[in-house]
Structure 1
Amino acid sequence: MEKNQICRMKADGSGYEVLGWGQSPTIYKDRIYYIKNKVVTDVYGSSTEAVGIAKMDLNGNNKKNINKMPNDSSSYYRELTIVNGRIYYLDSKYNGKLISTNMSGKDKKFYDGIDSYWSGLKVAGNKIYYMDQGCRIYYFDTKSRKKKQVCSIPNGDGNFSGVIGKNVYYYCYDKQATYCYNLSSKKTMKLIDKNVTILTTKGKYMVVECFLSQKEFEKTGKTNEIAIMKKSGKGYKKLIRFYVS
C-alpha cells in the first residue's frame, strides 16, 4: 500500500483492492467522499498532494470532483467528514479554521477557533470531535456552533483515536496503550496495549488501524495493520498488514 491510497476489502481481510488516491474517505448515502490526491514525481521521487474534494461509488467508479483546491501554495486541504448533509474540512490557508459546504461543494461557511492540525475530525451525532496541538480533545456542536473541551491526554503526548457515542478514545505514548474516556461517568479505562485508530464500527465490533511498534516493524517490515476487535478491547484479530512509505 502507498500512502494516501483509498482501499477496500472484505471483513475477513480478503478481496483487497485499491479504489484511488485520496485521504479521509467518508461514506455518505452509498458514495465515498474524500480529499482527492494526485501523484507528483520530481527528482526526489514520487509523492502525493491534495487537489480538492471528490466523490465516487463504493467500488471506485464514477469519480467526480466537487470542490477544487485553490491554486495557492498556502492552501492545503486535510481532514474531511460529513454531518447532517454538509461536508466539513480543514484548509491550512485559514490557520485551522473549519470550513463546511453543501454536498455539491457550494454554500461555503467558516467556523472560527478550531485548531485540529494534529488529529482527524471524528463525528458523534451533531458534534465533531477533534484534538488540538496540546493534545486536548474538544467537540464542536454543528448546530449551536459552540465548542467544549471534554478531556486531555496525560502529559500532552498522544493520538486521538476516535469517538463512539459517549466514549472518547485516545492513545497515550507515555503508557503505550489506547484508552477509553466515558463522557458521562468521567472515568477512563485501558482499551488495549496498542496504538489504534477506529475506522468504523458494526454492532459490538470495531475495525481499527494499528500502528506497529519499531520492534514489530523490524521483525515484519510492515508499519501498519487493519484489525477487528470488540468495543471492549478484547478479541483483537489481525486482518491484513502493510507498509506505508
Structure 2
Amino acid sequence: MADKKYALVTGGSRGIGRAICIALASELNYPVLINYQSNIQAAEETRDIIVAGGGEAELIQFDVSNGAETHAALANWKDQHPESIIEVIVNNAGVARDGLFLWMENDDWTTVINTSLNGFYHVTKPLMQDVLRQRYGRIINIVSVSGVKGTPGQTNYSAAKAGLIGATKALAQEIAKRNVTVNAVAPGFIETDMTHTLDEKELKKLIPLNRFGKAEEVADLVCFLASKKASYITGEVININGGIYS
C-alpha cells in the first residue's frame, strides 16, 4: 500500500495552476507536486504559500512538451519516493500563440499542440499504471472555452484543447472500471497573466455574468472533481465561463 498520495499539477507556478495547487493542498490535504518549466521563482512562491498555510509541496521541473525530459523527471521522483503514488493528475500546462491561421507559423502551431495535447500524453501515460493498480485516481485536464466552441485567432489553441477533450472522453471510458475518473474543466475568461493583455472592459460585455472569472473559482471546481464527492462523474467537460458559452 502506498504510504503517501500526491497530487501533481503541471504548469503549477502561476495563474490557474497556482490556485489549483493551493486549493488541493488546503481543501483536500494533498502534498502537491508543483511542476514548472523555467520560472523557479514563481514555483517557489507557490510552494511557500502552501507551506505557510500548513500544507506540503515539492517542486518538479520539466517541460511537458518534451517527452524524454518529462519521463526522466517523473522516473527520478518515483525513485526518490518508492512508497508514494501520484493519484491526482492535473494537466494544466498550456501555452497560447495566437494569430490568424492564414499567417500562422509552423512553430506557433507545433508549440501549442505539443504543450497542451502531447503534454497530456507525456505526463499521464507514465503515471497510469500506479492509479490503475491501486484502483483509485483522478485525472483532470484543463481545457478551454476555445476547445469547446472554437475561438477565431486561436485555431492552434482551439485544436489542442479540442483534442484534449476527445482524449478525456475516450480515456474515461477505458479506465472507469478501475475507479479512475477523467474529466475536463473548460474555463472562459479568467483573470491571469495569460489574459492581462486583453481588453477586459470590452470583453466583459460578452459575458452574461459581466466579469472575468477568478483562478480560485476554477480551482474550487478542480478540487471538487479531485475529491471523493465526484466519484460518479467521468468523461465530462465542465464549463466555467460566466455563461459566455453554455
Query: TM exceeds 0.5?
Result: no
User: TM-score scaled by structure 2?
Assistant: 0.30
Greater share of residues in strand: 1
Higher relative contact order (CA 8 A, sep 6+): 2
Structure whose alpha-carbon radius of gyration is higher: 1
Greater share of residues in helix: 2
